[in-house]
Amino acid sequence: MKKVAVVLSGCGVFDGAEIYESTLTLLNLDRLDVPYQCMAPNIPQMHVINHLTGQVAEGETRNVLVEAARVARGEIIDLAQAKAADYSAVIFPGGFGAAKNLCDFAVKGPDCEVNPEVERLISEALAAKIPLGFVCIAPAIMGKVAQKAGLETTLTLGTGADWAEKMQAMGTHHLSCPVREVAIDETHRIISTPAYMEAGRISEAADGIEKLVKTLVGWLR
């Protein structure tokens, strides 16, 4: 089996990849004996958040790829080097980096733009019918790419009406989904789970991510 691409957005829930979601994704792939490759765009973060205070660290700058390398233990490549055809599936863990660095949904909502390399990889995967997985807020990326491509997809950001409204504004069919469950789009081979959009504890996020990874790997086998 080819490796699964895991696209990270930095390191840290408020300005990068959510570390628990990223680790749980990698853990579940490894437990199923599925090889993976972490990757991230080589771009500046939108901003840096002090995770102790929750405030913007004025004057600080960080690089998404360099920060994501912390999560990947240095085993990571520049997203620009990746082609979807080289991978069996692609998974995007969440964290606000997905909505700040991989796209700007956190700022612009349904009017967001997606990083060109991220959009390219997803578009390649869609064209080749390569399965895609999205965790937490990352489905917003898929929603925007699908809107630009004229596709109606089924995705979830959990059970919040506010989030549903924003996704529907992009032409997405938003499925209200409990934290331990997944939303499956069989037509486009896309699966999503709310994780920390809903989770109050790590075990809740873990159950949904495990189900996402097992379902996605099941498609591959």
Cβ atoms within 10 Å, residue 171: 16
Best CA proximity match to 164, nearest among 107, 110, 92: 110
Active site residue 136: yes
- Cβ-Cβ contacts under 8 Å for 123 (sequence gap 6 or more): 145, 149
Helix (H, G, I), strand (E, B) or coil at 24: helix
Assigned token pair, 88: 């069996």
Q: What stretch of H or E contains 144?
A: helix 139-149
> Active site residue: 11, 112, 136, 177, which one?
136
Collapsing DSSP states into helix, strand and coil, what is residue 4? strand
Residue positions annotated with a catalytic role: 136
